[in-house]
Chains A and B, each alone.
Chain A
Amino acid sequence: ILNVEQSPQSLHVQEGDSTNFTCSFPSSNFYALHWYRWETAKSPEALFVMTLNGDEKKKGRISATLNTKEGYSYLYIKGSQPEDSATYLCARYNNAGNMLTFGGGTRLMVKP
């Protein structure tokens, strides 16, 4: 995988549903994986930073896991709420420099 890829590109769920999406990235020269939440007309806001294989992070109803050996991370949202509607971005740092490469994002829409 040459780039950071996210799937699906967009997702519509009902309020109360749990959901998850995937970030795939090159596993070589890995340094860190970031997740950001980006609401329309606002700036991206950090959710998690993970560096170690097997890392799991949790913030409220949102959690993330990291597999650096196979190059993927999952973001989970439990009991989705309309206010969770946003684009969720993952981004990868390599260990060669200070360039963060973003995926294309997963746009989540939660219907009340």
Chain B
Amino acid sequence: DTAVSQTPKYLVTQMGNDKSIKCEQNLGHDTMYWYKQDSKKFLKIMFSYNNKELIINETVPNRFSPKSPDKAHLNLHINSLELGDSAVYFCASSHDRATQYFGPGTRLTVL
């Protein structure tokens, strides 16, 4: 069974569109995250979310928003996609600040 899953694996879309990436974890973790792997291959935290609070990296544009329908899911919504949003996005989960378990990544290409 996959511990942290993301869909879709690849997403190709036009500039200006709105899209979502889904993330699910079956580990019973209380905290989930979204990361962006930038053009230099660095992993940058975008959001950290548990049932108590959402922590947002202040550098993330407000076109990006996380939505959590329940503890096992944290979806990433992106409005008005721009060329610079093209990247690989990773979801992860953990129990509090312990080891993080990463999903397989979603490669987003904005044309």
Mark A residues whose CB is within 8 Å of B.
Answer: 31-32, 34, 36, 42-46, 49, 87, 89, 91, 93, 97-102, 104-105
State whether A104 and B40 are in contact (beta carbons under 8 Å apart), knowing that A43-B104, A44-B102, A99-B55 are contacts in the complex.
Answer: yes
The residue that A89 contacts in the complex, of B43, B55, B103, with Cβ under 8 A, is: B43
Q: In the assembled complex, which residues on chain B have CB atoms less than 8 Å from the CB atom of A99?
A: 45, 48, 55, 57
A13, B100: Cα distance in complex, Å: 29
Distance from A33 Cβ to chain B, minimum over Cβ atoms (Å): 11
A87-B41, A91-B43, A98-B33 are known; give 15 further A-B pairs, CB within 8 A. Answer: A34-B99, A43-B4, A43-B102, A43-B103, A43-B104, A46-B100, A93-B97, A98-B31, A98-B48, A98-B97, A99-B57, A100-B48, A100-B97, A101-B45, A102-B43
Does A97 contact B48, Cβ atoms closer than 8 Å? yes
State whether A102 and B105 are in contact (beta carbons under 8 Å apart), knowing that A34-B100, A46-B100 are contacts in the complex.
Answer: no
Does B40 contact A32, Cβ atoms closer than 8 Å? no
The total of chain B residues at the interface (CB under 8 A) is 24
* A-side interface mostly: strand
B50 at interface by CB-CB < 8 Å: yes
A97, B53: Cα distance in complex, Å: 10
Does B102 contact A100, Cβ atoms closer than 8 Å? no
Q: Which residue of B lies closest to A89 (CB)?
A: B43
Q: In the assembled complex, which residues on chain A have CB atoms less than 8 Å from the CB atom of B31?
A: 98
A34, B40: Cα distance in complex, Å: 21
A43, B57: Cα distance in complex, Å: 21
